[in-house]
Amino acid sequence: MEIRRGVWQVRADDALMKELDGWRSQGRLLQFTFDRGLASAYGADLIGPGSYRLNTLLNLIRRQGVLSQAHIPHHFFYEPNIRRKVVTSSSSGERAYVLTSSSLYGQYLQLELLAEARGLQKKESLHTVTVNLSSGEILKFPLPAHLIQGGGVDPALVVKRKCSLKNAYLSAAAHVAGAIAEQGQEWAQEALESMAAETEKLNAFFQGRSDSAEYEAKLQELQRRMQPVLAIDAVRGAVIYAPLFRYRLVVVDAQARERTKTVTYDPIANLHELDQ
């Protein structure tokens, strides 16, 4: 609640205070303000760039949400349209009708990745990549956020994934590395040029002693400091269950011969998949 203009008060319990300020802290009333003047006048915690309280809050929040799950309900998609699409997608001269249908879920892994490009300076960037765990492919577009709802689904309705989590992570990381490479490599070029100049100086200094342990150590020091590296790590992830519509069809060809086939339609990828 706002206890005076520009100053808000909340009660933080013991557990929250311990997370914020360390294990010796106890629950108390916390007062916040966004104004430096009010912070010093009333002793309220300042929330602003670099402020202690903002950083403790950010750190606490960033420790949460390591792995979450969400789903996109089937009802967001108009099933009769999908059914029509599936039925009419047979090759020419064939007719198909639906024998049975079921609504299932496919698994997508959404990963948030932190990329650190370390050359002479360090540049960080965050990337969200979604991997289809059925095909192992990277989704070219993000899943529509407004359709996603928190929580899991009935495990019996989930189609088994074909791609391991590790492979999904590796391909997501490779995708990010590719995206960064496309943005340009000046940062690495610059670091390599500086490193070459420094190595030259080092070689001149250790002339005739370049097989010494000291030279080796100094060279390693130089590399640690200047060697351009792109480090990618996962920050958090979420499994998103997206709807799949599976139909068992009876297909009748021009000679009136009947056969059955199972088609799974993925409305997110807009793909039909023939299961058998």
Partner 1 sequence: MLQFVPCFTGPTHKQESPTVLQEDSAGLYKVEIRGTGFKRILSHWRAKRWDGWSWYQLAKRADSLATAQNRSAGLLAVEHLQERWAQTGVVPYEHQIRTAERVIHEMQGQAILADEVGLGKTIEAGLILKEYILRGLAKKVLILTPASLVWQWYHELYEKFGITAGIQRTQWDWQFADILIASIDTAKREPHASIVSSLIYDLVIVDEAHKLKNSSTASYRFVNSIQKKYCLMLTATPVQNDLKELYNLIGLIKPGQLGSYQSFKARFMEDKRTPKNPTELRKLLDQVMIRNRRDEGQVRFTARIVHPLVISLDPKEQDIYNRVTEFVKAQGRRTGLSNMLPLITLQREVCSSFLATALTLEKMMGNMQGPELEQAAALLKNLAEVKQNSKCDALERLVSQIDDKAIIFTEYKASQEYIRYRLEKAGYRTLAFDGSLSRGKKQWVRHMFQREAQFLVSTESGGEGLNFQFCNQVINYDLPWNPMRLEQRIGRVHRLGQTRDVHIYNLITKGTVEEHIMYLLHQKINMFESIIGELDAILLHLNLGKSFESELMKIFLEHERSDRIKESLDQIAEQILQGRAEIEASSWEGLL
Q: Which of the residues 96 through 125 are near partner 1 (CB under 8 A)?
A: 111-112, 114, 116-117, 119-125
The residue behind tokens 């929330």 is 47
> What tokens appear for 213 in the block?
């342990």
Helix pair angle (14-21, 52-63), 10° resolution: 110
Rounded to whole angstroms, the Cα distance separating 107 from 164 reads 11
Q: What is the end-to-end Cα distance of the chain in Å, rounded?
A: 60
Does residue number 89 form part of the binding site for partner 1 (CB under 8 A)?
no
Among 138, 194, 248, 262, binds partner 1 (CB under 8 A): 194
Q: Rounded distance, CA 55 to CA 123, Å?
A: 20
Confirm or reject binding of residue 169 to partner 1 (CB under 8 A). Answer: yes
Give the chain's length: 276
Instruction: List 17's β-bridge partners, or say none.
Output: none
Closer to partner 1 by Cβ: residue 70 or 139: 70
Contacts of partner 1 in 22-51 (CB under 8 A):
23, 39-40, 46, 49-51
Residue list 126-155, contact with partner 1 (CB under 8 A): 126, 128, 148-152
Write the binding mask 229 to 248 for partner 1: x where contact by CB under 8 A, - elsewhere.
xxxxxxxxxx----------
Binding test (CB under 8 A) with partner 1, winner from 89, 183, 212, 220: 220
Q: How near is the Cβ of 83 to partner 1 at its closest, in Å?
A: 30
Determine, following the binding rule CB under 8 A, whether residue 55 of this chain makes contact with partner 1: yes
216 binds partner 1 (CB under 8 A): no
Q: Which secondary-structure segment (H or E) carries 200?
A: helix 186-205
